[in-house]
Amino acid sequence: MNTATATPPKAPAKAPRRAIECGVPDNQQYLHPLLKKNYGDWRYHDRPRPGVLHHVAHSGDEVWSVRAGTQRQMDVGTVRKLCDIADQYAEGHVRFTIRSNIEFMVSAADKVAPLIQKLEAEGFPVGGTGNSVSMISHTQGWLHCDIPGTDASGVVKALMDELITEFKQEEMPNRVHLSTSCCEINCGGQADIAIIVQHTKPPKINHDLVANVCERPSVVARCPVAAIRPALVNGKPSLEVDEKKCICCGACYPPCPPMQINDPEHSKLAIWVGGKNSNARGKPTFMKMVASGLPNNPPRWPEVSEIVKKILYTYKEDARSWERIADWVERIGWPRFFEKCDLPFTKYLIDDWRGSRANLNASTHIRF
Protein backbone atom coordinates (compact mmCIF):
# COMPACT_ATOMS: atom_id res chain seq x y z
CA MET A 1 0.00 0.00 0.00
CA ASN A 2 1.38 3.40 -0.98
CA THR A 3 1.45 5.50 2.17
CA ALA A 4 2.95 8.57 0.50
CA THR A 5 0.72 11.59 0.88
CA ALA A 6 0.07 14.02 -1.90
CA THR A 7 2.11 17.22 -1.82
CA PRO A 8 -0.17 20.14 -0.96
CA PRO A 9 -0.35 22.77 -3.66
CA LYS A 10 1.90 25.76 -3.14
CA ALA A 11 0.29 29.03 -2.18
CA PRO A 12 0.61 31.71 -4.85
CA ALA A 13 3.65 33.90 -4.31
CA LYS A 14 2.86 37.21 -2.68
CA ALA A 15 3.90 40.36 -4.39
CA PRO A 16 6.83 42.00 -2.59
CA ARG A 17 5.75 44.63 -0.13
CA ARG A 18 6.40 48.11 -1.43
CA ALA A 19 8.13 50.56 0.84
CA ILE A 20 5.71 53.20 2.06
CA GLU A 21 8.32 55.64 3.30
CA CYS A 22 10.13 56.51 0.11
CA GLY A 23 10.40 60.21 -0.55
CA VAL A 24 8.15 63.02 0.56
CA PRO A 25 4.54 61.97 1.25
CA ASP A 26 1.82 63.37 -0.97
CA ASN A 27 0.57 66.54 0.71
CA GLN A 28 -2.84 66.40 -0.97
CA GLN A 29 -4.20 64.09 1.71
CA TYR A 30 -3.50 66.70 4.40
CA LEU A 31 -4.90 69.78 2.66
CA HIS A 32 -7.99 71.67 3.69
CA PRO A 33 -10.82 70.62 1.31
CA LEU A 34 -11.01 74.07 -0.30
CA LEU A 35 -7.24 74.20 -0.79
CA LYS A 36 -7.37 70.80 -2.45
CA LYS A 37 -10.35 71.75 -4.61
CA ASN A 38 -8.76 74.99 -5.86
CA TYR A 39 -5.15 73.83 -5.96
CA GLY A 40 -3.24 76.01 -8.42
CA ASP A 41 -6.35 77.97 -9.38
CA TRP A 42 -6.24 81.04 -7.15
CA ARG A 43 -7.38 84.45 -8.30
CA TYR A 44 -5.62 86.63 -5.69
CA HIS A 45 -4.72 86.88 -2.03
CA ASP A 46 -4.46 89.72 0.48
CA ARG A 47 -3.76 90.27 4.16
CA PRO A 48 -6.75 91.66 6.12
CA ARG A 49 -4.52 92.14 9.20
CA PRO A 50 -1.11 90.99 10.42
CA GLY A 51 -1.08 87.24 10.84
CA VAL A 52 -4.02 86.55 8.51
CA LEU A 53 -3.85 85.55 4.83
CA HIS A 54 -6.98 85.65 2.67
CA HIS A 55 -7.03 83.58 -0.53
CA VAL A 56 -9.76 83.87 -3.18
CA ALA A 57 -10.12 81.23 -5.92
CA HIS A 58 -11.52 81.67 -9.42
CA SER A 59 -14.40 79.45 -8.31
CA GLY A 60 -15.37 82.05 -5.71
CA ASP A 61 -14.21 79.97 -2.75
CA GLU A 62 -12.39 81.84 0.02
CA VAL A 63 -9.92 80.59 2.62
CA TRP A 64 -8.48 82.48 5.59
CA SER A 65 -5.14 81.29 7.05
CA VAL A 66 -4.26 82.43 10.57
CA ARG A 67 -0.54 82.22 11.37
CA ALA A 68 0.75 81.88 14.93
CA GLY A 69 4.23 81.52 16.33
CA THR A 70 5.25 78.34 18.14
CA GLN A 71 8.42 76.98 19.65
CA ARG A 72 10.28 74.54 17.44
CA GLN A 73 10.58 71.83 20.08
CA MET A 74 7.15 71.07 21.51
CA ASP A 75 6.01 68.60 24.11
CA VAL A 76 3.05 66.31 23.52
CA GLY A 77 0.77 68.51 25.62
CA THR A 78 1.45 71.56 23.43
CA VAL A 79 0.86 69.59 20.22
CA ARG A 80 -2.44 68.29 21.58
CA LYS A 81 -3.45 71.80 22.62
CA LEU A 82 -2.81 73.09 19.09
CA CYS A 83 -4.75 70.17 17.60
CA ASP A 84 -7.67 70.80 19.96
CA ILE A 85 -7.73 74.45 18.87
CA ALA A 86 -7.74 73.31 15.24
CA ASP A 87 -10.65 70.92 15.85
CA GLN A 88 -12.69 73.44 17.81
CA TYR A 89 -11.99 76.67 15.92
CA ALA A 90 -10.36 75.85 12.56
CA GLU A 91 -12.15 72.96 10.85
CA GLY A 92 -9.44 70.50 11.87
CA HIS A 93 -6.68 71.51 9.44
CA VAL A 94 -3.24 72.97 10.20
CA ARG A 95 0.16 73.20 8.60
CA PHE A 96 3.60 74.16 9.86
CA THR A 97 5.87 76.57 8.02
CA ILE A 98 9.63 76.17 7.67
CA ARG A 99 10.17 78.88 10.30
CA SER A 100 8.24 77.09 13.06
CA ASN A 101 4.97 78.96 12.56
CA ILE A 102 1.64 77.14 12.50
CA GLU A 103 -1.24 78.08 10.18
CA PHE A 104 -4.92 77.31 10.78
CA MET A 105 -7.26 77.35 7.76
CA VAL A 106 -10.94 78.36 7.92
CA SER A 107 -13.55 78.85 5.21
CA ALA A 108 -15.56 81.70 6.77
CA ALA A 109 -14.54 85.20 7.84
CA ASP A 110 -16.53 85.04 11.08
CA LYS A 111 -14.29 82.18 12.32
CA VAL A 112 -11.10 84.28 12.20
CA ALA A 113 -11.63 86.50 15.26
CA PRO A 114 -12.56 83.68 17.71
CA LEU A 115 -9.55 81.67 16.49
CA ILE A 116 -7.16 84.58 17.02
CA GLN A 117 -8.63 85.26 20.46
CA LYS A 118 -8.16 81.63 21.49
CA LEU A 119 -4.57 81.45 20.18
CA GLU A 120 -3.56 84.65 21.96
CA ALA A 121 -5.20 83.46 25.18
CA GLU A 122 -3.20 80.21 25.03
CA GLY A 123 0.09 82.05 24.50
CA PHE A 124 0.54 81.65 20.73
CA PRO A 125 1.10 85.14 19.21
CA VAL A 126 -0.54 85.77 15.85
CA GLY A 127 1.64 87.48 13.25
CA GLY A 128 4.67 86.76 11.08
CA THR A 129 3.11 87.72 7.73
CA GLY A 130 4.07 90.43 5.26
CA ASN A 131 6.76 92.94 6.20
CA SER A 132 7.36 91.63 9.69
CA VAL A 133 10.01 89.78 11.66
CA SER A 134 9.21 86.13 11.18
CA MET A 135 9.66 83.54 13.91
CA ILE A 136 13.35 82.70 14.27
CA SER A 137 14.47 79.51 12.53
CA HIS A 138 16.95 77.61 14.66
CA THR A 139 18.85 74.37 15.00
CA GLN A 140 18.22 71.57 17.49
CA GLY A 141 20.57 72.70 20.24
CA TRP A 142 21.34 70.51 23.22
CA LEU A 143 18.09 68.56 22.95
CA HIS A 144 19.08 66.49 19.89
CA CYS A 145 22.36 67.65 18.35
CA ASP A 146 25.71 66.22 19.40
CA ILE A 147 27.92 69.29 18.77
CA PRO A 148 26.09 72.43 19.93
CA GLY A 149 28.14 75.21 21.42
CA THR A 150 25.08 76.84 22.98
CA ASP A 151 21.35 76.38 23.46
CA ALA A 152 19.92 77.66 20.17
CA SER A 153 16.32 77.58 21.40
CA GLY A 154 17.33 79.63 24.45
CA VAL A 155 18.80 82.36 22.25
CA VAL A 156 15.60 82.36 20.20
CA LYS A 157 13.38 82.70 23.27
CA ALA A 158 15.46 85.55 24.70
CA LEU A 159 15.50 87.44 21.40
CA MET A 160 11.84 86.93 20.45
CA ASP A 161 10.78 88.19 23.88
CA GLU A 162 12.24 91.53 22.80
CA LEU A 163 11.08 91.41 19.15
CA ILE A 164 7.54 90.14 19.68
CA THR A 165 6.05 93.51 18.68
CA GLU A 166 7.80 93.33 15.31
CA PHE A 167 6.41 89.81 14.83
CA LYS A 168 2.84 90.98 15.43
CA GLN A 169 3.10 94.09 13.23
CA GLU A 170 3.95 94.66 9.57
CA GLU A 171 6.12 97.76 9.84
CA MET A 172 9.46 96.59 8.39
CA PRO A 173 10.62 97.68 4.90
CA ASN A 174 10.37 94.04 3.85
CA ARG A 175 10.23 90.61 5.37
CA VAL A 176 12.98 89.84 7.91
CA HIS A 177 14.18 86.29 8.42
CA LEU A 178 16.30 85.51 11.48
CA SER A 179 18.08 82.28 12.34
CA THR A 180 20.33 80.84 15.02
CA SER A 181 22.80 77.98 14.69
CA CYS A 182 24.54 76.34 17.63
CA CYS A 183 27.70 75.53 15.66
CA GLU A 184 29.48 76.84 12.58
CA ILE A 185 28.03 74.14 10.35
CA ASN A 186 25.04 76.53 10.29
CA CYS A 187 22.07 74.22 9.94
CA GLY A 188 19.92 77.31 10.54
CA GLY A 189 20.62 78.35 6.95
CA GLN A 190 20.76 81.74 5.27
CA ALA A 191 18.92 84.62 6.94
CA ASP A 192 18.73 88.40 6.94
CA ILE A 193 20.27 88.29 10.42
CA ALA A 194 21.84 85.12 11.79
CA ILE A 195 23.39 84.27 15.15
CA ILE A 196 26.01 81.53 14.90
CA VAL A 197 28.28 80.00 17.50
CA GLN A 198 31.93 80.75 16.82
CA HIS A 199 34.56 78.41 18.22
CA THR A 200 37.82 80.31 18.58
CA LYS A 201 40.22 77.51 19.57
CA PRO A 202 41.05 74.19 17.83
CA PRO A 203 39.79 71.01 19.51
CA LYS A 204 41.56 69.57 22.53
CA ILE A 205 42.38 65.91 21.88
CA ASN A 206 42.25 63.23 24.56
CA HIS A 207 44.78 60.87 22.96
CA ASP A 208 44.04 58.06 25.43
CA LEU A 209 40.53 57.65 24.05
CA VAL A 210 40.89 58.24 20.31
CA ALA A 211 41.92 54.70 19.35
CA ASN A 212 39.00 53.12 21.24
CA VAL A 213 36.27 55.64 20.38
CA CYS A 214 37.01 57.15 16.97
CA GLU A 215 37.07 55.73 13.46
CA ARG A 216 40.07 57.76 12.39
CA PRO A 217 39.56 57.69 8.57
CA SER A 218 36.04 59.08 9.05
CA VAL A 219 37.36 61.88 11.23
CA VAL A 220 40.05 62.77 8.72
CA ALA A 221 37.48 62.82 5.91
CA ARG A 222 35.07 64.92 7.95
CA CYS A 223 37.38 67.95 8.11
CA PRO A 224 36.44 70.43 5.34
CA VAL A 225 39.93 71.96 5.16
CA ALA A 226 42.09 68.83 5.54
CA ALA A 227 43.50 69.97 8.89
CA ILE A 228 43.35 66.54 10.61
CA ARG A 229 45.73 63.66 9.98
CA PRO A 230 46.53 60.33 11.66
CA ALA A 231 49.32 60.27 14.23
CA LEU A 232 50.97 58.08 16.86
CA VAL A 233 50.99 59.63 20.31
CA ASN A 234 52.70 57.80 23.17
CA GLY A 235 52.71 54.69 21.01
CA LYS A 236 48.93 54.77 20.51
CA PRO A 237 47.03 55.47 17.28
CA SER A 238 45.59 58.94 17.49
CA LEU A 239 45.01 62.12 15.49
CA GLU A 240 46.61 65.53 15.25
CA VAL A 241 45.37 68.91 14.09
CA ASP A 242 47.23 71.39 11.92
CA GLU A 243 46.21 74.51 13.81
CA LYS A 244 47.29 76.79 10.94
CA LYS A 245 44.63 75.19 8.73
CA CYS A 246 41.92 74.59 11.36
CA ILE A 247 38.92 76.90 11.02
CA CYS A 248 37.42 75.74 14.36
CA CYS A 249 34.17 74.58 12.78
CA GLY A 250 33.60 71.62 15.13
CA ALA A 251 32.85 69.11 12.36
CA CYS A 252 35.37 66.66 13.85
CA TYR A 253 33.61 66.37 17.20
CA PRO A 254 30.56 64.19 16.21
CA PRO A 255 32.61 61.25 14.85
CA CYS A 256 35.23 61.70 17.57
CA PRO A 257 34.02 63.01 20.97
CA PRO A 258 37.58 62.95 22.41
CA MET A 259 38.24 65.95 20.11
CA GLN A 260 36.39 68.37 22.40
CA ILE A 261 35.93 71.86 20.96
CA ASN A 262 33.23 73.34 23.19
CA ASP A 263 34.69 75.67 25.78
CA PRO A 264 32.92 78.02 28.20
CA GLU A 265 35.52 80.73 27.59
CA HIS A 266 36.50 80.31 23.95
CA SER A 267 33.13 79.40 22.36
CA LYS A 268 31.66 82.75 21.32
CA LEU A 269 28.79 83.99 19.17
CA ALA A 270 28.94 85.88 15.89
CA ILE A 271 26.31 87.82 13.94
CA TRP A 272 25.96 87.54 10.18
CA VAL A 273 23.70 89.61 7.92
CA GLY A 274 22.48 89.75 4.34
CA GLY A 275 21.61 86.15 3.49
CA LYS A 276 18.48 85.24 1.56
CA ASN A 277 17.16 82.44 -0.63
CA SER A 278 14.54 84.49 -2.45
CA ASN A 279 15.12 85.86 -5.96
CA ALA A 280 11.89 87.89 -6.09
CA ARG A 281 13.52 91.34 -6.38
CA GLY A 282 17.20 90.48 -6.19
CA LYS A 283 19.45 87.48 -6.53
CA PRO A 284 20.00 85.08 -3.60
CA THR A 285 22.90 86.12 -1.40
CA PHE A 286 25.20 84.62 1.22
CA MET A 287 25.52 86.08 4.69
CA LYS A 288 28.53 88.13 5.80
CA MET A 289 29.89 88.25 9.35
CA VAL A 290 29.59 91.73 10.91
CA ALA A 291 30.20 91.07 14.62
CA SER A 292 32.22 88.37 16.35
CA GLY A 293 33.55 87.34 19.72
CA LEU A 294 30.29 88.01 21.56
CA PRO A 295 30.10 86.22 24.91
CA ASN A 296 28.03 83.05 25.15
CA ASN A 297 26.12 84.47 28.09
CA PRO A 298 22.94 82.51 28.96
CA PRO A 299 20.14 82.69 29.87
CA ARG A 300 19.36 86.02 28.12
CA TRP A 301 22.43 86.75 25.94
CA PRO A 302 22.10 90.56 26.38
CA GLU A 303 25.15 91.42 24.24
CA VAL A 304 23.75 89.50 21.27
CA SER A 305 20.26 90.99 21.65
CA GLU A 306 21.68 94.51 21.77
CA ILE A 307 23.54 94.19 18.46
CA VAL A 308 20.69 92.38 16.68
CA LYS A 309 18.24 95.11 17.69
CA LYS A 310 20.70 97.81 16.67
CA ILE A 311 21.01 96.32 13.16
CA LEU A 312 17.29 95.63 12.86
CA TYR A 313 16.08 99.08 13.86
CA THR A 314 18.73 100.84 11.77
CA TYR A 315 17.49 98.86 8.79
CA LYS A 316 13.89 99.72 9.68
CA GLU A 317 14.64 103.45 9.73
CA ASP A 318 17.01 103.68 6.76
CA ALA A 319 15.94 101.09 4.17
CA ARG A 320 13.56 101.82 1.33
CA SER A 321 10.28 100.00 0.87
CA TRP A 322 10.72 96.37 -0.24
CA GLU A 323 14.46 96.35 0.34
CA ARG A 324 15.70 93.24 2.12
CA ILE A 325 18.71 93.73 4.37
CA ALA A 326 21.04 92.47 1.60
CA ASP A 327 19.56 94.99 -0.85
CA TRP A 328 19.87 97.81 1.68
CA VAL A 329 23.53 96.99 2.39
CA GLU A 330 24.30 96.75 -1.32
CA ARG A 331 22.83 100.21 -1.88
CA ILE A 332 24.57 102.03 0.98
CA GLY A 333 27.79 99.98 0.99
CA TRP A 334 29.51 98.10 3.79
CA PRO A 335 31.41 101.11 5.21
CA ARG A 336 28.13 103.01 5.70
CA PHE A 337 26.50 99.90 7.18
CA PHE A 338 29.12 99.65 9.93
CA GLU A 339 28.95 103.40 10.51
CA LYS A 340 25.15 103.52 10.76
CA CYS A 341 24.96 100.45 13.00
CA ASP A 342 27.84 101.71 15.17
CA LEU A 343 29.75 98.44 14.80
CA PRO A 344 33.55 98.13 14.82
CA PHE A 345 35.09 96.79 11.62
CA THR A 346 38.07 94.45 11.46
CA LYS A 347 39.84 92.65 8.64
CA TYR A 348 38.20 89.38 9.72
CA LEU A 349 34.67 90.51 8.82
CA ILE A 350 32.59 90.31 5.61
CA ASP A 351 35.03 87.99 3.81
CA ASP A 352 33.87 87.82 0.19
CA TRP A 353 35.50 84.37 -0.30
CA ARG A 354 37.50 85.41 -3.37
CA GLY A 355 40.63 84.18 -1.66
CA SER A 356 39.10 80.98 -0.36
CA ARG A 357 41.84 78.88 -1.92
CA ALA A 358 44.34 80.66 0.29
CA ASN A 359 42.39 81.32 3.47
CA LEU A 360 40.49 78.01 3.68
CA ASN A 361 42.71 75.59 1.72
CA ALA A 362 39.46 74.78 -0.07
CA SER A 363 40.32 71.32 -1.37
CA THR A 364 39.34 68.39 0.85
CA HIS A 365 41.43 65.98 -1.22
CA ILE A 366 44.09 64.62 1.12
CA ARG A 367 47.51 63.47 -0.09
CA PHE A 368 49.88 61.55 2.13
pLDDT of 165 above 50 = yes
pLDDT of 3 above 70 = no
- Residue 352 shares a structural domain with residue 317: yes
- Residue 185 shares a structural domain with residue 211: no
Q: What is the DSSP string of 120-184?
A: HHTT--B---SSSBPPPEE--GGGT-SS-SS-HHHHHHHHHHHHHHHHHS--SSS-B-EEEESST
Query: Among 86, 121, 156, which residue terminates a domain?
Result: 121
- Residue 156 shares a structural domain with residue 299: yes
Q: Please state the pTM of the whole predicted model.
A: 0.84
For the chain, percent of residues with pLDDT exceeding 70: 91
Domain-embedded: residue 127:
no
- Residue 145 shares a structural domain with residue 107: no
Instruction: From 181, 205, 184, 199, select the one nearest 267 (Cα to Cα).
Output: 199
pLDDT of 323 above 80 = yes
Confidence band for 310, pLDDT divided at 50, 70 and 90: very high
- Residue 211 shares a structural domain with residue 312: no
- Residue 192 shares a structural domain with residue 48: no
Of 141-145, 192-196, 258-262, 295-299, where does mean pLDDT reach its minimum? 141-145
| pLDDT at position 368 | 38
Any residues with CB less than 8 A from the CB of 270 and at least 6 apart, and which?
Answer: 195, 196, 197, 198, 289, 291, 292, 293, 294
pLDDT of 62 above 80 = yes
Domain-embedded: residue 193:
yes
Which CATH number belongs to the domain containing residue 74 in this structure?
A: 3.30.70.3340
Greater confidence (77 vs 346) lies with 77
Domain-embedded: residue 236:
yes
Give residue 210's domain range. Answer: 204-260
Query: Among 218, 239, 260, which residue terminates a domain?
Result: 260
- Residue 84 shares a structural domain with residue 176: no
Number of domains in the chain: 3
Please give the mean pLDDT across all residues of the chain: 88
Beta bridge partners of 160: none
- Residue 268 shares a structural domain with residue 353: yes
Which CATH number belongs to the domain containing residue 236 in this structure?
A: 3.30.70.20
| pLDDT at position 100 | 84
- Residue 315 shares a structural domain with residue 210: no
The model's pLDDT over 124-163, given as tens digits with 9 standing for 90+, comes to 999 999 999 999 988 877 777 777 888 888 899 999 999 9
Any residues with CB less than 8 A from the CB of 189 and at least 6 apart, and which?
Answer: 137, 179, 275, 277
